[in-house]
Amino acid sequence: MSELEYKIVVGLEIHVHLATRTKMFCGCELAYGEQANTRVCPVCIGMPGVLPVMNKKAFEYSVLTALALNCNISSFTKWDRKSYYYPDLPKNYQISQYDLPFSEHGHIEIPLEDGRTKRIGIIRAHLEEDAGKNIHTLGNFSAIDLNRAGTPLLEIVTEPDMNSAAEVRTLATQLQRIVRYLGVSEADMQKGHMRFEPNINLHITKDGTLYKTSISEVKNLNSFRAIERSVAYEADRQLDEFLETGATMKMGNKRTYGWDDENQCTVLQREKEEAHGYRYFPEPDLVPVEMNEKWLAEIKSRLCELPLQMQTRFAGEYKLSDYDAGVLTADRSTAEFFDRAVKAGGDAKRLCNIITQTGLKIANVKGCTVAELPITAEALAKLAQMVEAGEISPSASAAIFEDMVNTQKTPDTIVREKNLIQKNDAGEIEAMVDEVIAANPKAVADATSGGKKSKKAIGFLMGQVMQKSRGQASPKVVSAILSKKLG
């Protein structure tokens, strides 16, 4: 029986809508969900004789993203026409970048399940304009909405360095976090702000000989689940095809597939065009862009601590779990708010618990981030300090946090007004414990029996003491005294 081993090889193309106020080469407002064809002008619908003008902010957003991806920024870049005809591209060409993109040769680190990180190469990041949108839901015909035509579109192309569907999903997730941290895109995949196109093939070793299957590109994926499942499906399909026919890269061109989410399979669309099929040539209506040191330094000054670096720092410096650090760094403003609260004197783990267990729920109800709630980092640090000092119970901190949001009062003011100061007086608490023990002989017997009922009975007695103290007794002190009394 022949020996066969294979490796999945995946590169990813990522298209990111940039969050500028206007389109890439005209002054039309960028707005989603508006009436079809109401955000258009002669430039973006390709009328004869019109001239494009570059959106400077879109170019700066692109450079900022490329810097975050450790790319080399070119001092000279030009625009090119990429010619193809589709109904949603009224000019019959797309203004893009071909042989002289503004950035190349970068990399991004992604976390692996075993705690290590893996470096994925970035071939290039270039800037172009998006096409319009085909509408197929109006009847037995198709319609065209050109509101999206001309949207600034950043295309990031990775090296084929990923070797599993999980790695591809992780990379996509990290890129979404990065562009959101930088503020260059809302990255809402349901609105089409980010689209992913994995290029997949297999390197198969059979009887000592290496075979490579033809590359399949799966187009326009807009969910992390679809990315992961399409890569896994396509790898299985290519392996089955190789085993059945022996087909390899030498026998066919790159092919383009769509993803059928309902049937969970890829669907062949067409043979992929080669670059010469697009008839690239320099865009005659736009001057090249020259990047000087002063301009580059100004853009570079806008860089922030990126999500994976911040997550790693929180886990190492603040001794948080990777999960907690990941939850806190999912949103930049929340992560920075937490960081400020720690620096203001709050215990990191206590702050993490308050934010993740209470703050995120309240923020979700109010439709904002934790950092947008009317609480200062200093006030949150004070709340954490009061819990750590035993002045208030951890359970009371949730109600106090909510009161802080609703009233903008400081935690010590709320604690004083509502008489929530935790009792730590051992003598006073011991008297209450004695009363509860005297009033509940059966629970005491169960607690001291050592049987299955013991744990439940102790919990009951604890609850009775807390009820008698109106929730103000320190649970630690109650537990210690009960344990001593019950032996």
| Any domain includes 180 | yes
Residue 251: which pLDDT band, with cuts at 50, 70 and 90?
Answer: low
Q: Are residues 451 and 311 in the same domain?
A: no
Give the percent of the chain with pLDDT over 70. 96
Residues 6 or more apart from 277 whose CB is under 8 A from it?
none
Quote the domain boundaries for residue 326.
Answer: 307-417
| Any domain includes 7 | no
| Any domain includes 56 | yes
For residue 454 the two structure tokens come to 């013991």
For residue 109 the two structure tokens come to 């680190």
Tell me what pLDDT residue 1 has: 43
18-54 residues labelled b (16+ CB within 10 A) or e (exposed): bbbebbbbbebebeeeeeeeebbeebbbeeeeeebeb
**Neighbouring C-beta atoms of residue 452, cutoff 10 Å:** 8
Which of 267-281, 407-421, 454-468 shows the highest mean pLDDT?
Answer: 407-421
Domain boundary among 383, 417, 451: 417
**pTM attached to this predicted model:** 0.86
Q: Are residues 411 and 462 in the same domain?
A: no
Q: Are residues 288 and 317 in the same domain?
A: no
Tell me what pLDDT residue 438 has: 84
Per the listing, tokens 């100061």 go with 421
pLDDT at 106 over 50: yes
Contact status, residue 168 vs residue 1, Cβ threshold 8 Å: no
154: three-class secondary structure by DSSP: strand
Q: Are residues 390 and 436 in the same domain?
A: no
Q: How far apart are CA 450 and CA 465, in angstroms?
A: 21
Residue 149 Cα distances to 160, 364, 379, angstroms: 30, 33, 47
Q: Are residues 31 and 68 in the same domain?
A: yes
What is the phi/psi pair of residue 265, to 5°? Answer: -150, 160
Give the total number of structural domains in the chain: 3
pLDDT at 216 over 90: yes
Contact status, residue 460 vs residue 478, Cβ threshold 8 Å: no
CATH of the domain at 439: 1.10.10
Residues 6 or more apart from 49 whose CB is under 8 A from it?
none
Domain boundary among 390, 417, 444: 417
Q: Are residues 137 and 35 in the same domain?
A: yes
For residue 172 the two structure tokens come to 């996509």
pLDDT in tens, 385-444: 999 888 887 888 999 999 999 999 999 999 888 877 766 656 777 788 788 888 888 888
